[in-house]
């Protein structure tokens, strides 16, 4: 628990930078699982600063994003492709071929094969070294909404009504928010060697309490993280305010 989101975000960025540098020193690549949304923005900002001012290189970094709306055009303002380029990729030296984001432009009949291949690409890269997560008010991680199975893989899912309400501002109305998304599964996330879930502000306090102290259940998918030895919740004081 950190006093504020900025301090916490800098600490997470430092952790990522250390992983990247350690891997580079061993001649291997860091494989990062990345999230979008408001939560990781300051982490990405700090990584960009480290790239510019401290020579942190992403030449040997491979990234896999958690999710993308479906359907979604890559160049749409709300796409997670646009988000990642604006917040991180356009400002660092990561090779384009090292970036992986679920494809919102696929024909529906091609999604299943894409998802199987996404899992294979993660495996072929050596597995995720570090997965960054936010948490939705439904308890989703990635877009694994209530009802998700603990062993779920990358797949097409239906977004929860609350998730679509929370996204409505970005889309100029809930009716414009896609009803579906492609997301890594709970099982995919669990295979990461380290998992860091971040949450900021009092708005997240009730769901953080459920995730950390509630009964493990598919009703709150983030509770599955209680079963992992490799997970850390990084919170600001407000998000942690309901913990006992
Ligand atoms: C984003 C993602 C989601 C968000 C969650 C919180 O890639 O997978 O699980 O992390 O919806 O969103 P924010 O950070 O906007 O509160």
pLDDT reported for residue 31: 99
pTM reported for the whole predicted model = 0.98
pLDDT reported for residue 58: 98
Q: Mean pLDDT, consecutive 10-residue segments, the chain of 244 residues?
A: 98 98 97 98 99 98 98 98 98 98 98 98 98 98 98 98 96 98 98 98 98 98 97 98 98
Q: Based on the residue annotation, tell me whether 145 is a catalytic residue of this protein.
A: yes
Other CB atoms closer than 10 Å to residue 141's CB: what's the count? 28
Query: Strand ranges (DSSP E) for the chain?
Result: 30-34, 61-65, 67-70, 99-100, 130-133, 155-158, 180-183, 194-199, 231-235
Residue pLDDT, tens place only, 86-116: 999 999 999 999 999 999 999 999 999 999 9
Quote the ligand 1 centre to 98 CA distance (angstroms).
22
Cα angle 65, 71, 77 (rounded to 5 degrees) comes to 70
Residue pLDDT, tens place only, 113-146: 999 999 999 999 999 999 999 999 999 999 999 9
pLDDT reported for residue 28: 97
Minimal-distance CA residue to ligand 1 atom 4:
134
The complex's ipTM? Answer: 0.99
- Give me the domains of the chain, ranges plus CATH numbers: 5-235 (3.40.50.1360)
Compute the half-sphere exposure of residue 27: CA atoms within 13 Å on the CB side of its CA: 0
Mapped onto helix, strand or coil, the DSSP state of residue 150 is coil
What lines the ligand 1 site, CB under 6 Å?
Answer: 35-39, 66-67, 134-136, 140-143
């Amino acid at each position: 628990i950190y006093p504020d989101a900025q301090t916490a975000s800098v600490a997470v960025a430092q952790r990522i930078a250390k992983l990247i540098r350690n891997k580079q020193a061993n001649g291997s690549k860091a494989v990062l699982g990345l999230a979008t949304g408001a939560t990781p923005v300051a982490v990405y900002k700090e990584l960009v600063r480290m790239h510019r001012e401290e020579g942190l290189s992403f030449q040997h970094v491979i990234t896999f994003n958690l999710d993308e709306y479906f359907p979604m055009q890559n160049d749409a303002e709300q796409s997670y492709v646009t988000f990642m380029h604006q917040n991180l990729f356009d400002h660092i030296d990561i090779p384009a071929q090292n970036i992986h984001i679920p494809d919102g432009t696929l024909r529906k009949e091609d999604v299943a094969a894409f998802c199987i291949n996404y899992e294979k690409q993660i495996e072929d890269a050596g597995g995720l070294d570090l997965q960054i997560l936010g948490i939705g008010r439904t308890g989703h991680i990635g877009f694994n909404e209530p009802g998700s199975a603990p062993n779920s893989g990358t797949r097409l899912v239906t977004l929860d009504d609350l998730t679509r309400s929370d996204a409505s501002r970005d889309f100029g109305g809930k009716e414009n928010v896609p009803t579906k998304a492609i997301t890594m599964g709970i099982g995919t996330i669990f295979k990461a060697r380290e998992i860091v879930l971040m949450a900021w502000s009092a708005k997240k306090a009730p769901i953080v309490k459920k995730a950390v102290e509630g009964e493990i259940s598919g009703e709150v998918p983030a509770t599955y993280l209680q079963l992992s030895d490799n997970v850390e919740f990084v919170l600001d004081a407000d998000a942690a305010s309901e913990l006992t």
